Structure 1
């Protein structure tokens, strides 16, 4: 079994955080005696820094116990560092990518990895992507855009041109939603996270970007958010509104089948619907391990999707 959605923090990255603690405002906070410290960077999205995030041996042992034979490891979204100056984002990307590449080389049969890039500078991001793939990484994980920039904007063209040339996996992972209505009851994570994916995925689909860059392998986290469930509404809009159809060569439901999605849905009926909607060759097993809301062990094998995403 493969696990396409799983996260890890190499020791060199932790060392970098401690060396740059004041610059990035990193804090290690002990909230509960029964839990590990929480890591918070720049007063934003904190998380429990479990040992499985940082201990490579423990991580591999836990994956093996769950029946996972190969893990595609990603950096954690909290360390994308998009809200810092470019030199910081480039620096952390370089350290993270090199560390993951070195780790995967120690267990190539059990590990592959995606890198991270300085998305705030797409030209620099393209270079970091190229460097990462030269080291053996399979592509990169990125956020759903920037504060005032959608991924379909021309601003990101240099990055997508390079990803297309390299046939890279681009795993789009949401960040916490800033909608003020969600500031309660864990809603930023419960529905804000899949909502961010929904907005990004819908915009990319309707933009025609996948026709412009057909070799980019775009993978959406958490089953594509709410988009697959509402694809009929997009098809209806395609029939009625030129603003929806003008950049597309087919209905949105056809484009939906040209992306990939993970199985992090926590509900078998939802997963069955996703597979029926986009095809079993487009849904890869994932867990979101070791975050709290992980599907553990990952659901399904989806061998056709694994081959189409990782090997074709």
Structure 2
């Protein structure tokens, strides 16, 4: 492990190795997610009777995560929920119970390596008060930040209740990681994983735009630490088009105080873009100070070895690489770079 600049992966997910029957816990009918164990190291994440996603034990086993991290040269992972657990369409009381179950299980997943596996919680975002209470409970129990979905039904991130929650995150100094989820389905999008290849980038793009044109960034404090997954989706590629529309159709588009490009310093993105040309565009648009290493571990559409794109980049300077691999994430997590760097370098006995 590195001595001065720990490499931090801010985009990874977990699935616990089993959980209570959610129908019994909530008193509500499914379909609920559950885990079908197929072998000691393989399982299928189910949604009711439908197969949702195949899994391997690196989704829940800390020792396997640590081995993969060591192989990739990663010192720290931020471990976030898998979005299928969010339960935003459920009654808030049901979603509260689900959030508590998985947030407590996330602490168990990360417990064997507390200095290397940093848990992010989930909240019942459809109920602002309940979401704030669960965030507070989770922070007190050891979570460092929160992962939220990019929308709640037809409510986007500029919704007043979600803005209130984000304000609460800023007040509590909690980092917020925004992940696309619940993508639209149609015959056109159901081929070739198009919901993931087209829908996910579009969802993130729309949500960033909503915070801009919906006045969200104009209402939120500048110190809110906000990061969007998958390189910000398609948003960085189309900043020029959005600025042009803001100026050319102010009657419809100029609903924010400033044009979209003005707000690029209000959020960060991860680095899961997979080729050097895309990373160059992302760096040109966002600036290296607003990009952090993300791998989407342990899922197959993620980057392995984590950080390879950054380390082998043909254009990034050594300082930019250090920002993206380490110092930006330390700031995002609210950690003092000089004071806390040694924490990351302690190897837990169980590792």
Q: Distance in 1 between matches of 2:33 and 2:232?
A: 31
Determine which of 61, 66, 81 is the counterpart of 2:72.
66
Alignment of 1:248-287 (within 5 A): 248=257, 250-287=258-295
1:298 pairs with one of 306, 326, 335: 306
Aligned residue number for residue 211 of structure 1 = 218
User: For 1:220 and 1:20, how far apart are their aligned partners in 2?
Assistant: 34
Instruction: Tell me if structure 2 keeps the 8 A contact 1:141–1:172.
Output: yes
Instruction: Tell which deviates more after alignment, 35-44 or 258-267.
Output: 35-44
2:202 is matched with which residue? 195
2:19 aligned with 1:15, yes or no?
A: yes
1:177 paired with 2:186, answer no
Query: What does residue 345 of structure 2 align with?
Result: none
Post-superposition shift, 1:9?
Answer: 2.3
Match of 1:38 among 27, 44, 59: 44
Q: CA deviation at 1:45?
A: 7.8
TM-score (norm. length: structure 2): 0.80
Query: Can you list the C-alpha shifts for 1:145-204, whole angstroms capped at 9, x where unaligned?
Result: 122211201132331221121122111111142141312121111111111111111111
Whose helix fraction is larger, Structure 1's or Structure 2's? 1
Please say if residues 80 and 121 of structure 2, whose CA atoms lie closer than 8 Å, have aligned partners that are also in contact.
yes
Distance in 1 (CA, whole Å) between partners of 2:328 and 2:165 is 25
- Runs of 5+ in structure 2 lacking a partner? 1-6, 311-321, 336-351
TM-score relative to the length of structure 1? 0.89
Query: How far does residue 85 in structure 1 lie from its aligned partner after superposition?
Result: 2.4
2 CA distance for matches of 1:156 and 1:307? Answer: 25
Deviation at 1:66, TM superposition (A): 1.2
Structure 1 partner of 2:125: 119
| 1:212–1:37 Cα change, 3 Å | same
Q: Which moved more, 1:115-124 or 1:80-89?
A: 80-89
Further displaced range: 105-114 or 72-81? 105-114
2:246 is aligned, of 238, 249, 264, to 238
On the 8 A contact 1:176/1:189 being kept in 2, the answer is no
Could you say if the C-alpha distance between residues 43 and 5 of structure 1 is closer, same or farther in structure 2, counting changes exceeding 3 Å?
Answer: farther
Q: What do residues 28-76 of structure 1 show as CA deviations (whole Å, max 9, x unaligned)? A: 5689x9x933212246781112111121211222112111101111011
Contact 2:44–2:51 under 8 Å retained in 1:
no
Q: 1:229 aligns with which of 234, 237, 249?
A: 237
**Cα gap change, 1:273/1:36 in structure 2, threshold over 3 Å: closer, same or farther?**
same
SS at match of 1:71: strand
- Cα deviation for residue 298 of structure 1 reads 2.0
| Deviation >3 Å, runs of 4+ | 17-31, 42-45, 101-106
Q: Residue 15 of structure 1 aligns to a residue in which SS? A: coil
> Residue 153 of structure 1 aligns with which residue?
159
| 2:21/2:34 contact within 8 Å kept | no
2:60 & 2:113 partners in 1: Cα distance?
16
Distance 2:119 2:50 in 1: 25
How far is 1:102 from its partner? Answer: 4.8
> Looking at both structures, which has the greater relative contact order when contacts are Cα pairs under 8 Å and sequence separation is at least 6?
2
CA deviation vs aligned residue, 1:260-298 (integer Å, no higher than 9, x gap): 100111112111211121111110001001111011122
| Structure 2 Cα separation of the partners of residues 80 and 62 of structure 1 | 26
RMSD between aligned residues: 2.4
The worse-fitting range, judged by mean Cα deviation, of 147-156 and 73-82 is 147-156
Asked if 1 retains the 8 angstrom alpha-carbon contact of 2:61 and 2:109, the reply is no
Say whether residues 1:186 and 2:209 are aligned partners.
no
